[in-house]
Amino acid sequence: MTLQTARPTPDPNPTNMIPRLDIRRIDRVFGGRKVVDDVSLTVLPGQVTCLLGPSGCGKSTTLRIIAGVDRQDAGEIRIDGQLVCDTVFRLPPERRSVGLMFQDFALFPHLSVAENVAFGLTGPKAARRARVEDLLDRVALGRFIDAYPHELSGGEQQRVALARALAPRPKIMLMDEPFSGLDNRLRDEIRDQTLQVLKDEGAAVLLVTHEPDEAMRMADEIALMRGGRIVQQGAPYNIYNAPVDRAAAAFFSDINVIRGRVQNLLTETPFGKFLTPGMADGAEVDIIIRPQHLRIDFDRNGRGPNPTAEEGVAARACVERARFMGSESLVEFRMDHDGSALRATVPAVFLPQPGTPMWLTIRRDRCFVFPREGGGRAA
Ligand SMILES: Nc1ncnc2c1ncn2[C@@H]1O[C@H](COP(=O)(O)OP(=O)(O)OP(=O)(O)O)[C@@H](O)[C@H]1O
């Protein structure tokens, strides 16, 4: 698909911007249970924010409140600084300048592609036609202008739905799992193309997904949601590299957990001592490391760590199982010191026999240390 660009670009100094979407302290209660709990977030013009979290955490309900098809029990929403709704005042959905896109593209089957895209447009006929043609060109569907939805593939229907949602130039695009109906092979390409069109339009985008990969790929900012609350918010690399807790780390990838106990502000492990400031003596801690940050001493065939290694203390383990996963190998180890299991990934074909002894080191700068839940108090 070819994309024509040269659309308005966002303000280079985003700190000067009024947030396009500003949600403050939203609650929603169903049957006495807060399914949206004190949610606040802002989205700037031209920015994509992903509301990311497991099924049932309250993402869609938040989106529905912003769209105006559900109401909050507390809090307020502003668009471009103007109040859209609080618990007293409520602007109807059609007056909020919000575009919607859902998993099922919900195209009108009896309308042509052009008629679908023109559906929400007002104004002179020639201007409407020009807008439809422009958008269809930009999603590379110009040649399907007179086709009907059933004549299009899933990916093409998704692009028509995108063009339709963008046609009235909404200030905000709300997207709820818009790619989950697509074939795996198509998905990455369509995500990238969609992102480009959204950026060109300059709308503020709030995209709901339960897939961390999708959020990492699409988002300028991720709001991680759990149990109705936003537990962490920031740029994708910050959320990935500085998770707030063990569950936040585990949401993005498989993790290894090395258990320890604090003594004199330090926690001793087979990989050396870790600083654990602020933790009381005797508190139990989990040291988290992702499998790609565990290093295997390949060269010495289990004969012991290389004394010049800069990775700190090495610990001995035996291979339990090794599998080739396509772009990497996953090796599972049983640690000598306590029989615990650790997993390492290697970006190559690496399939040592079960029972092979090896030495492991960890990238200490990639470890996260958290108090174990229910395992002791902070000092
Ligand atoms: N109208 C409703 N009445 C009662 N409970 C509701 C209603 N709408 C949503 N819920 C409940 O609120 C919780 C959050 O639902 P929501 O659809 O917002 O979650 P979600 O994070 O979008 O999940 P998913 O990804 O599965 O759609 C769920 O427990 C759901 O059952």
Q: Which residue has the tokens 């031209």?
A: 46
Do 72 and 192 share a domain, yes or no? yes
Report the pLDDT value the prediction gives residue 14, as an integer from 0 to 100: 52
> Which of 248, 281, 301 represents a domain boundary (last residue)?
248
Q: What angle do CA 116, 121, 122 make, to 5 degrees?
A: 145
Q: What is the ipTM of this complex?
A: 0.94
Do 181 and 323 share a domain, yes or no? no
Do 189 and 77 share a domain, yes or no? yes
Provide, rounded to the nearest whole percent, the portion of the chain with pLDDT above 90: 65
Q: How many helices (H) and strands (E) does the chain have?
A: 8, 20
Residue 358 lies in a domain: yes
Closest atom, ligand 1, to C-alpha of 61: 18
| Å from CA of 75 to ligand 1 middle | 19
* CATH number of domain containing 89: 3.40.50.300
Best probe residue, ligand 1, of 28, 35, 72 (max atoms within 8 Å of C-beta): 35
Residue 67 lies in a domain: yes
Q: What angle do CA 7, 11, 14 make, to 5 degrees?
A: 140
116 touches ligand 1 (CB under 6 Å): no
Do 264 and 364 share a domain, yes or no? yes
Best probe residue, ligand 1, of 60, 177, 208 (max atoms within 8 Å of C-beta): 60
58 touches ligand 1 (CB under 6 Å): yes
Q: What angle do CA 228, 234, 235 make, to 5 degrees?
A: 135
Please tell me the total count of domains within the chain: 2
Do 89 and 229 share a domain, yes or no? yes
Do 29 and 83 share a domain, yes or no? yes
Do 329 and 227 share a domain, yes or no? no
Do 285 and 314 share a domain, yes or no? yes
Mean pLDDT to the nearest integer, 224-252? 95
Q: What angle do CA 225, 229, 230 make, to 5 degrees?
A: 50
Report the pLDDT value the prediction gives residue 179, as an integer from 0 to 100: 87
Do 32 and 181 share a domain, yes or no? yes
- Atom 2 (ligand 1): residue with closest C-alpha? 30
Least confident of 145-154, 251-260, 275-284: 275-284
227 touches ligand 1 (CB under 6 Å): no
Residue 5 lies in a domain: no
Q: What number of other Cβ atoms are within 10 A of residue 203's Cβ?
A: 26
Report the pLDDT value the prediction gives residue 44, as an integer from 0 to 100: 93
Residue 221 lies in a domain: yes
* CATH number of domain containing 318: 2.40.50.140
Return d(Cα 121, Cα 178) in angstroms, integer. Answer: 22
Please report, to the nearest 10 degrees, the dihedral formed by the alpha carbons of residues 36, 49, 222, 139 taken in order.
120
Do 59 and 180 share a domain, yes or no? yes
Predicted confidence (pLDDT) per residue in 161-207, tens digit: 999 999 999 999 999 998 887 787 788 888 888 888 888 888 899 99
Residue 180 lies in a domain: yes
At residue 290, does pLDDT exceed 50?
Answer: yes
Predicted confidence (pLDDT) per residue in 271-281, tens digit: 888 888 888 89
Do 243 and 265 share a domain, yes or no? no
Do 199 and 347 share a domain, yes or no? no
Least confident of 34-48, 97-111, 201-215, 225-239: 97-111
> Which of 231, 248, 265 represents a domain boundary (last residue)?
248
Residue 174 lies in a domain: yes
Residue 289 lies in a domain: yes
30 touches ligand 1 (CB under 6 Å): yes
Q: Which domain holds residue 67?
A: 14-97+170-248
Residue 104 lies in a domain: no
> Which of 198, 226, 248 represents a domain boundary (last residue)?
248
